[in-house]
């Protein structure tokens, strides 16, 4: 995590950097800082959000055309002014910003202390900048050379930008394992963790690859390998719209993104669901169709909300395509010794495309010969580039830390994938395929309708905003939805919540139920409806407070539940796309009523690039 941004050109660097940091704040927000190069190399940094840094620098001299900034999610060292980036070297002639982790920092630090370097912070990053300084001192070399040599000594992940007072008009950047994109303007360059700080200045970008060093000097960009070989930059055009990264009148990004779902689901189907022609397309699987046809097994790797989308996909792929599926937490999978063969397909799901554990799980599966299929939202992200093939979700930038529209887009893409593979394998008949296609086509309108529940849900949120615990129950396709509902609530409102398979409740959580316990039951009309009704009775018998998400027109559950939320009817396999909507809204309203920072919940970050 952590966000980095840098500028070199003819404009004032500081306002561009601050605005960029605001855009990247979703990546971490426990402290922020800037370094500005203008004869002097000045570093200003502050604990807290970017807004606090802005206040802090109001009275300072921030005039400079070269500079860089950082917004932090702490790994080494608590969030405070000293541990905030940028970090100076001991002589204060060099400064660095860093997203990532240096694993061998302790040994390097000891060595550097012997050489006389003095450390102010507890961070691994300060070791990096002193290493560069030490190399430069010993070798009497340029900053570029010293950075290159330093990269051979550090172990870990990094996206860094380095400035030196002795070499003004120059930015040196490098990456391994953490994202970095360079924006190319006219006589100006931008560097950032993602394209959002860049988009309003230029749409020409270069995604820096692992082990590459970018040197921007005298108005030119030179990209070189760690071995000092010139690399030809591949300039791409950004397709992102500026509007998509602004709040557009909503109080929070999360609410905007919840309400964008009819559109983002439609975008994730665009060109894939062709109702008139009566067929489905997915460019990414075309070349791998045979692999999918003959796959022994599909392993899904992901983290967080993306893992929940993976769980929905398990139901979909087993149901529609009859392929055995395992859904794995990437962080567990990669540290086991999993059995993977060349006949396995690994599907990696990631909104950001940068989650370190998911990336590492991909590398592991690749080394065993599996075919890797990626489902990512961020175009050009590390995971999208590390996979053999894939499909973008096209949900547009998701900025709220709690994932909403990315989840429904992932589920939509996975549904289309399961339908295509099932049809090709002959496990999904033509008739059933056509029925499901029509139903899928109606989902955006049904989500739109579910969003009309917003005011009703706000009232329910009023009732429950002060409770300490919540239980979420669902069966079948609604079990992953229960997990996702509980995750949303705990992420942004800090209320403890657990998601459980409704029947499994009897094996433990039922002991928690009393007259104070709210239990959200997702009880839409599907094959397990009757069983869920029984589970509701079990909760009611113990005086639990039931909030039920039901299919429109349900006559039975309203008689048992304290609150009923009616969502439009749809096919059982598509139900998560609709039933998750009220749960997103419920967590949103509870968090707002509790005064929580919905878009930037404590301790979390949107893109988890540490392991
Ligand atoms: C973080 C985010 C979650 C996200 C998870 C996986 O924990 O806060 O919202 O679901 O990472 O991220 P990914 O980008 O791989 O989907």
Sign of the CA dihedral running 576, 581, 586, 589: positive
**pLDDT tens-place string over residues 217-276:** 999 999 999 999 999 999 999 887 777 788 888 999 999 999 999 999 999 999 999 998
Distance 183 CA to ligand 1 centre (A): 25
Q: Please work out whether the CB of residue 309 comes within 6 Å of at least one atom of ligand 1.
A: no
Distance 60 CA to ligand 1 centre (A): 37
Report DSSP state, residue 46: E
28 pLDDT tier (thresholds 50, 70, 90): confident
Using CA atoms, how far apart are residues 161 and 182, in angstroms rounded to an integer?
A: 11
**What are the Cα distances from residue 112, in Å, to 24, 109, 143, 148?**
32, 5, 18, 18
pLDDT at 499 over 80: yes
483 pLDDT tier (thresholds 50, 70, 90): very high
Q: Please work out whether the CB of residue 478 comes within 6 Å of at least one atom of ligand 1.
A: no
Distance 608 CA to ligand 1 centre (A): 7
State the burial class of residue 218 (Cβ atoms within 10 Å of its Cβ: 0-12, 13-18, 19+): exposed
**pLDDT tens-place string over residues 269-283:** 999 999 988 899 999
In 3D, which of 124, 174, 120, 169 has the Cα closest to residue 149? 174
Distance 124 CA to ligand 1 centre (A): 24
**What are the Cα distances from residue 61, in Å, to 56, 89, 600?**
11, 21, 30
Other Cβ atoms less than 10 A from the Cβ of 211: the count is 15
**What are the Cα distances from residue 286, in Å, to 177, 243, 282?**
29, 33, 7
**Residue 141 among the catalytic residues:** no
From 193, 334, 607, 610, give the residue whose CB has the most ligand 1 atoms within 8 Å, as the site to mutate: 607
Of 78-92, 301-315, 502-516, minimum mean pLDDT range: 502-516
**Mean pLDDT for all residues in the chain:** 94
Give the closest residue (by CA) to ligand 1 atom 1.
606
Q: Please work out whether the CB of residue 352 comes within 6 Å of at least one atom of ligand 1.
A: yes
Q: Please work out whether the CB of residue 604 comes within 6 Å of at least one atom of ligand 1.
A: yes
Other Cβ atoms less than 10 A from the Cβ of 168: the count is 17
**Residue 237 among the catalytic residues:** no
Selected residue with higher pLDDT from 431 and 78:
431
Instruction: From the CA of 305, give the closest atom in ligand 1.
Output: 10
pLDDT at 551 over 90: yes
In 3D, which of 578, 496, 567, 507 has the Cα closest to residue 538? 507
pLDDT at 510 over 80: yes
Using CA atoms, how far apart are residues 197 and 24, in angstroms rounded to an integer?
A: 7
Q: Please work out whether the CB of residue 358 comes within 6 Å of at least one atom of ligand 1.
A: yes
**pLDDT tens-place string over residues 46-80:** 999 999 999 999 999 999 999 999 999 887 788 89
Residue 50: per-residue pLDDT:
95
Using CA atoms, how far apart are residues 598 and 74, in angstroms rounded to an integer?
A: 20
Strand partners of residue 392: 376
pLDDT at 111 over 80: yes
Residue 46: per-residue pLDDT:
95
Residue 44: per-residue pLDDT:
97
**Are 483 and 302 within 8 A, CB to CB?**
no
Q: State the DSSP H helix or E strand holding residue 326, giving kind and residue range, or none if neither.
A: strand 325-329
Give the closest residue (by CA) to ligand 1 atom 4.
304
Q: Please work out whether the CB of residue 437 comes within 6 Å of at least one atom of ligand 1.
A: no
pLDDT at 509 over 90: no
Using CA atoms, how far apart are residues 193 and 181, in angstroms rounded to an integer?
A: 6
Residue 608: per-residue pLDDT:
76
Catalytic residue among 46, 176, 488, 606: 606
Joined tokens for residue 126: 């300060």
Residue 593: per-residue pLDDT:
98
Mean pLDDT computed over 564-592: 98
**Are 13 and 36 within 8 A, CB to CB?**
yes
Mean pLDDT computed over 377-397: 92
Other Cβ atoms less than 10 A from the Cβ of 181: the count is 23
Using CA atoms, how far apart are residues 79 and 47, in angstroms rounded to an integer?
A: 6
**pLDDT tens-place string over residues 432-480:** 999 999 999 999 999 999 999 999 999 999 999 999 999 999 999 999 9
Give the closest residue (by CA) to ligand 1 atom 5.
304
Q: Please work out whether the CB of residue 350 comes within 6 Å of at least one atom of ligand 1.
A: yes
- Percent of the chain at pLDDT above 90? 85
552 pLDDT tier (thresholds 50, 70, 90): very high
**What are the Cα distances from residue 551, in Å, to 49, 557, 565, 569?**
42, 10, 8, 5
From 2, 29, 305, give the residue whose CB has the most ligand 1 atoms within 8 Å, as the site to mutate: 305
3-state SS assignment for residue 353: coil
Residue 357: per-residue pLDDT:
93
Distance 541 CA to ligand 1 centre (A): 37
Q: Please work out whether the CB of residue 305 comes within 6 Å of at least one atom of ligand 1.
A: yes
Give the closest residue (by CA) to ligand 1 atom 8.
606
């Amino acid at each position: 995590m952590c966000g980095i941004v840098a500028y070199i050109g003819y404009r004032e660097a500081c306002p561009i950097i601050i605005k960029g940091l605001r855009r990247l704040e979703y990546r971490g927000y426990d402290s922020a800082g800037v370094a500005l190069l203008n004869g002097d190399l000045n570093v200003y940094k502050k604990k807290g959000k970017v807004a606090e840094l802005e206040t802090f620098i109001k009275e300072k001299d921030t005039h400079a055309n070269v500079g860089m900034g950082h917004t932090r999610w702490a790994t080494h060292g608590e969030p405070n002014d000293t541990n905030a980036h940028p970090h100076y070297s001991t002589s204060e002639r060099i400064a660095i910003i860093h997203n990532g982790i240096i694993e061998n920092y302790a040994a390097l630090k000891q060595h550097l202390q012997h050489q006389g370097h003095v450390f102010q912070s507890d961070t691994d990053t300060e070791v990096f900048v002193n290493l560069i300084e030490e190399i430069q001192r010993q070798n009497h070399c340029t900053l570029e050379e010293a950075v290159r040599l330093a990269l051979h000594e550090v172990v870990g992940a990094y996206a860094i930008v380095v400035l030196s007072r002795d070499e003004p008009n120059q930015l040196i950047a490098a990456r391994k394992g953490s994202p970095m994109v360079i924006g190319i303007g006219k006589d100006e360059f931008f560097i950032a963790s993602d394209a959002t700080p860049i988009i309003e200045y230029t749409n020409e970008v270069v995604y820096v690859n692992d082990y590459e060093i970018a040197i921007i000097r005298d108005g030119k960009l030179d990209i070189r390998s760690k071995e000092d070989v010139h690399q030809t930059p591949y300039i791409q055009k950004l397709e992102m719209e500026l509007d998509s990264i602004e709040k557009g009148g909503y109080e929070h990004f999360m609410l905007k993104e919840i309400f964008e779902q009819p559109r983002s689901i439609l975008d994730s189907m665009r060109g894939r669901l062709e109702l008139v022609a009566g067929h489905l397309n997915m460019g990414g699987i075309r070349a791998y169709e045979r692999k999918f046809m003959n796959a022994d097994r599909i392993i899904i790797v992901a983290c967080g909300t993306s893992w929940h989308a993976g769980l929905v996909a398990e139901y979909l792929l087993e149901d529609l395509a009859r392929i055995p599926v395992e859904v794995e937490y990437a962080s567990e999978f990669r540290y086991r010794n999993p059995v993977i063969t060349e006949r396995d397909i690994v599907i990696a799901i990631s909104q950001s495309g940068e989650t370190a554990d998911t990336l590492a799980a991909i590398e592991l599966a690749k080394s065993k010969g599996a075919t890797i299929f990626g489902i990512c939202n961020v175009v050009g992200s590390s995971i999208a580039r590390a996979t053999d093939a894939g499909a973008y979700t096209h949900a547009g930038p998701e900025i709220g830390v709690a994932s909403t529209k990315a989840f429904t887009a992932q589920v939509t893409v996975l549904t289309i994938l399961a339908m295509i593979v099932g049809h090709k394998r002959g496990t999904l008949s033509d008739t059933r395929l056509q029925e499901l296609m029509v139903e899928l086509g109606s989902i955006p309108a049904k989500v739109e309708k579910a969003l009309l529940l917003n005011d009703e849900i706000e009232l329910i949120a009023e009732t429950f905003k002060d409770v300490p615990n919540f239980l979420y129950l669902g069966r079948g396709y609604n079990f992953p939805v229960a997990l996702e509902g509980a995750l949303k609530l705990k992420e942004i409102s800090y209320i403890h919540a657990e998601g459980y398979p409704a029947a499994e409740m009897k094996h433990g959580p039922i002991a928690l139920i009393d007259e104070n316990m709210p239990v959200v039951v997702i009880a839409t009309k599907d094959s397990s409806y009757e069983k869920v009704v029984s589970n509701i009775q079990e909760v009611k018998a113990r005086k639990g407070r039931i909030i039920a998400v039901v299919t429109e027109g349900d006559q039975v559950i309203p008689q048992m539940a304290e609150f009923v939320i009616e969502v439009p009817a749809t096919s059982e396999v598509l139900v998560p796309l609709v039933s998750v909507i009220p749960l997103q809204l419920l967590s949103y309203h509870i968090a707002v009523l509790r005064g929580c920072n919905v878009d930037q919940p404590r301790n979390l970050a949107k893109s988890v690039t540490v392991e």
